[in-house]
């Protein structure tokens, strides 16, 4: 296997993948110190987007990417919600699948927001010709969730 790229099976997220995604997301959250991003509802939503995938190795799920197309009247964009996996090769395979799905759908603008400490995720996107955007992301959480520390 020296010098060869390992191949992973990458398949579309299915509405029955909720438990799989939640388990992988739990590991992702623990590794990066981020809040959980996968619920039954989000798994169901992303199963319909055409831009969300699970990577498998020997039948075992080893990573996922959740993304969806958005259109606000200008150019359509595919926005990445979450990229999770421990292996850099898995992450790159998932980003490759995302790029292909966006291209096949005629969506040529892609946006990925990652936790600042997710260097493996950043490298996977950069390996597939994504570049950093000179922007500032500002967030605010309203209601009782915004009151929690």
Q: Which tops the pLDDT comparison, 137 or 80? A: 80
Instruction: Give the global pTM.
Output: 0.89
Inside any domain, residue 49 = yes
- pLDDT value for 143: 87
CATH at residue 56: 3.40.630.30
Inside any domain, residue 2 = no
Per-residue pLDDT tens for 91-111? Answer: 999 999 999 999 999 999 999
Inside any domain, residue 45 = yes
Inside any domain, residue 3 = no
Inside any domain, residue 77 = yes
Q: Based on the structure, what is the number of domains in the chain?
A: 1
- Residues in Cβ contact with 107 at an 8 Å cutoff, skipping those fewer than 6 apart: 69, 76, 77, 78
Judge whether residue 67 has pLDDT over 60: yes
Inside any domain, residue 133 = yes
CA dihedral 90, 95, 96, 97 (to 10 degrees): 90
Residue 42, domain extent: 9-147
Q: Measuring CA to CA, how many Å separate 97 from each of 11, 16, 47, 52, 64?
A: 9, 20, 15, 9, 10
- pLDDT value for 109: 95
């Amino acid at each position: 296997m020296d010098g060869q790229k390992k191949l992973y099976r990458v398949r579309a997220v299915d509405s029955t993948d909720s438990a799989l995604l939640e388990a992988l997301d739990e590991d992702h959250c623990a590794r990066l110190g981020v809040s959980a991003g996968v619920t039954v509802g989000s798994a169901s939503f992303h199963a319909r987007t055409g831009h969300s995938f699970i990577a498998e190795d020997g039948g075992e799920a080893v990573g996922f990417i959740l993304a969806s197309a958005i259109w606000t009247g200008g150019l359509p964009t595919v926005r990445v919600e979450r990229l999770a996996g421990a292996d850099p090769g898995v992450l790159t395979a998932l980003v490759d699948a995302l790029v292909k799905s966006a291209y096949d759908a005629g969506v040529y603008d892609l946006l990925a927001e990652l936790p600042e400490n997710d260097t493996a995720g950043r490298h996977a996107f950069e390996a597939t010709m994504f570049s950093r955007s000179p922007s500032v992301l500002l967030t605010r959480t309203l209601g009782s969730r915004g009151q929690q520390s």
